[in-house]
Amino acid sequence: MHIPDRISNALPAGVLRRLRITLALILISTLPGFAQDGNTFWYEADRLNSGLSDRSEERVRRSTPRQTLRSFLAATDRGDFATAAHCLNLSRLDPDRQSRLGPEAARKLSEIIARQVWIDWSSLSARPDARIEQTGKAGSRAGDPRRDIHLATLQTDGLAFDLRIARFKAPGEPAAWLFTPQTVENIAPLYKAFGPRPYEAYVPAVLKKEFAGLWLWEWIALPLLAIGILLLGWGIRSLVSRLAMRAKRGWLKSGLDKSAQPLSILVMAGAGQVLLSLVFSFSGPTQALLHPTLIILMVWGVGMTLLRLIDALLHRVTLRYVGEIDDRRGRDEREFYTSIYALRRLILLVMVTIAALLVLDRLNLFDNIGMTLLASAGVLTVVFGIAGQAVLGNILASLQIALAKPVRIGDAILYEGKWAYVEAIFYTFLRLRTWDHRRIVVPVTYFIARPFENWSVSEARMIWVIDLWLDPRADVDVLRSKFGELLQEDTDVTEPDNAYTYVTDQTTDGLKLSFYAMMPDPSTGWAAQSRLREKLLAFIRDDHPDWLPRDRILDVGRTENDGATRASHAADPG
């Protein structure tokens, strides 16, 4: 609806908005098949169920959506399907067929609703105009009237069928809420897919009564069904475990062994879905609980199975092209291993996103909660930001490590006084392996927030130092020469000519000699350092034991007596 610029510029914004709404309502009211009375709307109809017998106003009330559905269910519960037919719009049937097919259609529709629809009575308006009372419902604004309400969408054979009620008005009759003609046409395929199963004919009538919202036979069938599915899952897990034991390829063996549990859950959920679709036809509350649960389990089972198979394959690739990670591996190999872990995290994020979208799509939750989620996005962001601050912080820090690579898997680091290897980098923590094969689990944010030494950041080789405290009379040149000979003999030492020996400290008790040598990697360097220290000490012990550190005691009294004796001898030489 276009308003000339000279008028729109002269009017306040609020007045202009109300003017546009008024003009839009006037235009809509002129459309065929649509009428209004004040603020109420309906579909125009030539006649409504003229082939049905006269209805009782006390038994069938159709002025509001809630009254219509209550009248329909109450009549079908009594077995009065002729009265319930008055809640259907049978305008697509000839009047002579309405009295014959109407009650049967009402009976079948009641069976479909009982088995597939869990009615949310709070969402059904008790107003004749079904006016929206809360912003965001059905994508409308508060205060908007409605003439059509969606109850449920059921899928069968790849097709979706809607159950709807709408407001109709025939000349000379009050407006009434009825199940739409399209819903009446959808009854036949829906009843074929979700109607009573053949076995229900053998269920005693006493077990078809309701108890705590479920039929009595459901209280018996559900535990038996659960036991059968659990036994099936146990059998699948045992079978997959046996196949893993017989697998010849390492990655397949590891993948099957890790996938036994998700595979069993996948088969259990799939079997339950098949039973619900082809064998059992439970009531609406049971369907509302089991259907989304089984879909979530199936999606989780497929995702976890694929993820663990991919994990096993990636692990096999790293073992083949890199091998066991330690500090002897080159920089490129450690970066490759770290990239593999980053790829795993990326695959996990993608799979979780796809699984969430698939679940939302399969459960038709986009239409139901999409606008609500958008409306409450700010609140949800704050809530999840506060509640999941630690987890989100660790995930972001993990991605930071994967991209910036301050440490890589296989790097040798000195972290809080402990020499360890980075064995794995996960979403929320790192696993460090110490030299004595202990594991240290460190949260990612805690790890990043503290300084550490990376001995493998550019290359694995490093200079190791051997410190010895010796007597001040030790000959440094002799020890420097001997250290050079030991380096030439030791095959683990790289660049033996690039070695140094210095006196790096001195006290009244002795001096400190430091021997520097280049080692290929931290683990080899530690062993070579210990070995060279032993040989140096053995050389000093065997050839120069007087160079070992010793304590000197000065006897002051004896020194004075010795001095007096020498003086008396000098005075009296005879």
The span from the CA of 549 to the CA of 263, in Å, is: 69
The span from the CA of 25 to the CA of 39, in Å, is: 10
**pLDDT at residue 86, rounded to an integer:** 92
pLDDT mean over 454-459? 70
The span from the CA of 20 to the CA of 14, in Å, is: 10
The most confident of 70-84, 287-301, 385-399, by mean pLDDT: 70-84
Backbone angles phi, psi at 405, to 5 degrees: 55, 55
Please tell me which residue, 32 or 73, carries the higher pLDDT value.
73
Report the percent of the chain where pLDDT is more than 70. 70
pLDDT digits (tens, 9 = 90+) for 105-118: 999 999 888 888 88
The span from the CA of 292 to the CA of 273, in Å, is: 10
pLDDT at 343 over 90: no
**pLDDT at residue 325, rounded to an integer:** 53
Estimate to the nearest angstrom the gap between the alpha carbon of 543 and the chain centroid: 68
Token pair 């809080």 is found at 416
Whether the CB-CB separation of 276 and 297 falls below 8 Å is answered with: no
**pLDDT at residue 461, rounded to an integer:** 72
**pLDDT at residue 345, rounded to an integer:** 65
**pLDDT at residue 182, rounded to an integer:** 94
Query: Model confidence at 37, in pLDDT bands (50, 70, 90)?
Result: very low
Lowest mean pLDDT among 5-9, 281-285, 333-337: 5-9
Query: Model confidence at 361, in pLDDT bands (50, 70, 90)?
Result: low
Q: Is 271 exposed, middle or buried (0-12, 13-18, 19+ CB in 10 A)?
A: middle
Cβ atoms < 10 Å from Cβ of 348:
15
For residue 469, what is the enclosing H or E element? strand 462-470
pLDDT digits (tens, 9 = 90+) for 526-545: 888 888 999 999 998 999 88
Cβ atoms < 10 Å from Cβ of 263:
22
The most confident of 58-67, 245-254, 486-495, by mean pLDDT: 58-67
- The pTM for the full model equals 0.51
Which residues are within 8 A (CB) of 236 and not within 5 positions of it... i.e. 6 or more apart? 263, 264, 267, 268
The span from the CA of 131 to the CA of 150, in Å, is: 14
pLDDT at 327 over 60: no
Domains in the chain: boundaries: 1-26, 65-195, 218-454, 462-547
**pLDDT at residue 108, rounded to an integer:** 92
pLDDT at 402 over 70: no
Please state which CATH class domain 462-547 belongs to. alpha beta
User: Where would I find the H helices in 41-180?
Assistant: 65-78, 81-84, 95-116
pLDDT mean over 446-469? 79
The span from the CA of 173 to the CA of 57, in Å, is: 13
Q: CA nearest 528: which of 498, 497, 486, 480?
A: 486
Query: Model confidence at 28, in pLDDT bands (50, 70, 90)?
Result: very low
Backbone angles phi, psi at 493, to 5 degrees: -90, 130
pLDDT mean over 12-40? 50
pLDDT digits (tens, 9 = 90+) for 498-536: 788 888 888 888 899 899 888 877 778 888 888 899 999
The most confident of 132-136, 137-141, 399-403, by mean pLDDT: 399-403
Instruction: Specify the amino acid at residue 124.
Output: L
pLDDT at 15 over 60: no
The most confident of 179-188, 315-324, 386-395, 443-452, by mean pLDDT: 179-188
Report the percent of the chain where pLDDT is more than 90. 11
pLDDT mean over 38-61? 77
For residue 566, what is the enclosing H or E element? helix 556-571
pLDDT mean over 449-472? 80
- Tokens standing for 331? 């920089």
pLDDT at 35 over 50: no
